[in-house]
Amino acid sequence: MRLVLASSSPRRRELLARIGVVPDRIASPDIDETPRKGEPARVYALRMAVEKAHAVSREVDEIVVAGDTTVAVGRRILPQAADADMQRGFLQLLSGRRHHVLSAVCVIDAEGRARSRVSDSIVRFKRLGPAELEAYIASGEGLGKAGGYAIQGRAEALIDWMAGSHSGVVGLPLYETRALLNASGYPVE
C-alpha cells in the first residue's frame, strides 16, 4: 500500500517522519482556501483538509493524507501572513491573549472512504513589546504561516502557555493522524 501526502509543506513531511511514515508520493492540492461567510473555524479547517485530500488523484491501493491548520481568534480566522504588515497586525492581535489552533487531518483509504478528525489547541502569546514584535517580524519566520507565526521556531519562546497538540500547531496532529492511518489500513506502530 502506498501513501500520498496531499501537501507541499516540508513541516508535514517532517512530522510524518516522527511517527515513522514516509510518503511514497507528494501531491500539492490546488483548492480555493477562502472561508465561507460565517463559517466557524473548526468547520473551515475540517472542510479544507477534506477538500485537499479529495483534490489529489489517488491510484489503486493508495491512501491519501491531507491536513489543514487554522488559527482563530474568537470567530475570526487568521490566514497565512502574506507580508510584514499583515503579520504585524496578527501578532498585535495575538499578543497577551489566547487563540485556537485547529489542525484537521483527512485520510482517504484504498477503497475511497474518507475519515477525518480535528485537533483543537489553545495557545497564548506573552504580551509582546514593540521591540520583540519587530524582531520576530524581521526574522521572516512567520511569513506564509497561518496567524503569522511558526511555533517550531523562535515564536516558541514567546508563548507562555499552551494546551493541546504541539504537532497540531506545527501543522499535523500526530495522535489523530496515526489513529486515522491505522483505521484506514496503513499500520503505524
Is there a domain that residue 51 lies in? Answer: yes
pLDDT band (50, 70, 90) for residue 188: very high
Q: Is residue 158 part of a domain?
A: yes
pLDDT at position 16 is 98
Indicate the average pLDDT of the chain.
Answer: 96
Among residues 68, 83, 85, 120, the one annotated as catalytic is: 68
- The number of domains in the chain is 1
- The model's confidence at residue 172, banded by pLDDT at 50, 70 and 90, is very high
pLDDT in tens, 76-123: 999 999 999 999 999 999 999 999 999 999 999 999 999 999 999 999
Q: What is the pLDDT of residue 70?
A: 97
Going by pLDDT thresholds of 50, 70 and 90, the confidence category of residue 75 is very high
d(CA 159, CA 150): 11
Domain of residue 28 covers 2-183
Give residue 6's pLDDT band: very low, low, confident or very high (50, 70, 90): very high
- Percent of the chain predicted with pLDDT > 70: 100
Q: Assess contact for 19 and 174: CB atoms under 8 A.
A: yes
Q: Is the pLDDT of residue 56 over 90?
A: yes
Supply the pTM of this predicted model.
Answer: 0.94
Q: What would the pLDDT profile of 60-69 be if each residue is shown by its tens digit?
A: 899 999 999 9
Say which CATH number the domain at 14 has.
Answer: 3.90.950.10
Report if residue 189 sits inside a domain.
Answer: no
124 occurs within a structural domain: yes
- Residue 108 lies inside a defined structural domain of this protein: yes
**Terminal Cα-to-Cα distance of the chain (whole angstroms):** 16
Is 109 one of the catalytic residues? no
3-state secondary structure 87-120: HHHHHHHHCCCEEEEEEEEEEECCCCCEEEEEEE
Q: Is 188 a domain residue?
A: no
What crossing angle do the helices spanning 174-183 and 10-18 adopt, rounded to 10°?
70
Q: What is the pLDDT of residue 152?
A: 94
